[in-house]
């Protein structure tokens, strides 16, 4: 049926993009980019109404025509459990090398693959656990990150003692039927703070870790479903402002939509 054909098309499409992205990135490294040895990778494929999302296409959201300039989501935790549900890595009993998680992001603008953890060479059978969002109880420590760290990008750091935005979406919009401008030209920005976004995801799997090979988890994210119910012509700014009850409800509605819009591929 039509739904199955669309899903098949989407699956084939994101694998083609995945293969293409590997071909394009293996031989090119930005001059100022530091090699990231973390081999557990969350590869995101952003879609909108069954089309690949990029920063040039125009889509419809509510009563607006929109262009997305960035969709960034932070990941603030990872661990792996075996078939007995015991945590295999990281080793929390290791007092010589205590566990410290370095947050990372997947971004439409800066790169959709988030490297979240380094697994040693071995054979693994169990469950990946990765956290979408940051731990708001420890985010003040992140304010001392180096200037080139992903979490210091515009829109993510909320300011001193205010934590971070774990989800940041921004773009341009114009009302459908507005003839004053030919292209979307008004800014909309939706922020979900670390106080609100705190989701753990799991994926059962078995695999071998060998040198120079990544452990990939491929994820399809339907941004039209994520933003279902929103309309930039009515609400063009969400701050996750704890003093504004309506604003908090709007941010929480986005989090609720994540559960159906975010799909880890088998």
pLDDT tens profile 142-190:
777 888 889 888 899 998 888 899 999 999 999 998 888 889 999 999 9
Torsion of CA 27, 33, 36, 40, to 10 degrees: -70
Q: How many other C-beta atoms can be found within 10 angstroms of the C-beta atom of residue 191?
A: 24
Query: What sign results for the dihedral spanned by CA atoms 19, 21, 22, 23?
Result: positive
3-state SS assignment for residue 107 = strand
pLDDT tens-digit map of 31-69: 344 568 899 999 999 999 999 999 999 999 999 999 999
Q: Rounded to 5 degrees, what angle do the CA atoms 37, 89, 74 make?
A: 60
Instruction: Locate 64 and state its tokens.
Output: 């607006």
Please, which residues have CB within 8 angstroms of residue 257's CB and are 6 or more apart in sequence? 225, 226, 227, 228, 229
By mean pLDDT, which of 26-40, 71-85, 108-122, 168-182 is the weakest? Answer: 26-40
Query: Residue 227 has which token pair?
Result: 């933003």
Cα–chain center distance at 145: 19
What does pTM read for this prediction? Answer: 0.84
Where does the pLDDT of residue 120 fall: very low under 50, low under 70, confident under 90, or very high at 90 and above?
A: very high
């Amino acid at each position: 049926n039509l739904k199955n054909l669309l899903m098949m098309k989407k699956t084939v499409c994101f694998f083609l993009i995945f293969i293409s992205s590997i071909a394009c990135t293996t031989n090119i490294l930005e001059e100022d980019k530091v090699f990231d040895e973390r081999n557990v990778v969350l590869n995101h494929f952003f879609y909108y109404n069954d089309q690949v999302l990029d920063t040039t296409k125009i889509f419809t959201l509510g009563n607006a025509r929109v262009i997305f300039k960035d969709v960034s989501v932070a990941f603030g935790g990872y661990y792996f459990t075996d078939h007995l549900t015991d945590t295999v890595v990281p080793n929390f009993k290791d007092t010589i090398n205590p566990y410290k998680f370095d947050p990372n992001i997947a971004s439409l603008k800066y790169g959709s693959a988030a490297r979240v953890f380094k697994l040693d060479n071995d054979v693994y059978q169990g469950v990946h656990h990765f956290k979408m969002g940051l731990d708001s109880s420890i985010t003040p420590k992140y304010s001392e990150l180096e200037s080139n760290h992903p979490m210091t990008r515009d829109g993510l750091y909320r300011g001193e003692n205010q934590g971070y935005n774990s989800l940041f979406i921004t773009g341009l919009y114009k009302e459908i039927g507005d003839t004053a401008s030919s292209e979307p030209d008004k800014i909309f920005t939706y922020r979900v703070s670390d106080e609100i976004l705190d989701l753990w995801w799991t994926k059962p799997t078995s695999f071998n870790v060998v040198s120079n090979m990544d452990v990939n988890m491929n994820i399809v994210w339907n941004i039209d479903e994520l933003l279902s119910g929103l309309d930039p012509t009515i609400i063009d700014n969400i701050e996750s402002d704890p003093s504004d009850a309506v604003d908090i409800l709007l941010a929480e509605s986005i989090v609720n939509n994540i559960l159906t819009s975010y799909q880890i591929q088998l």
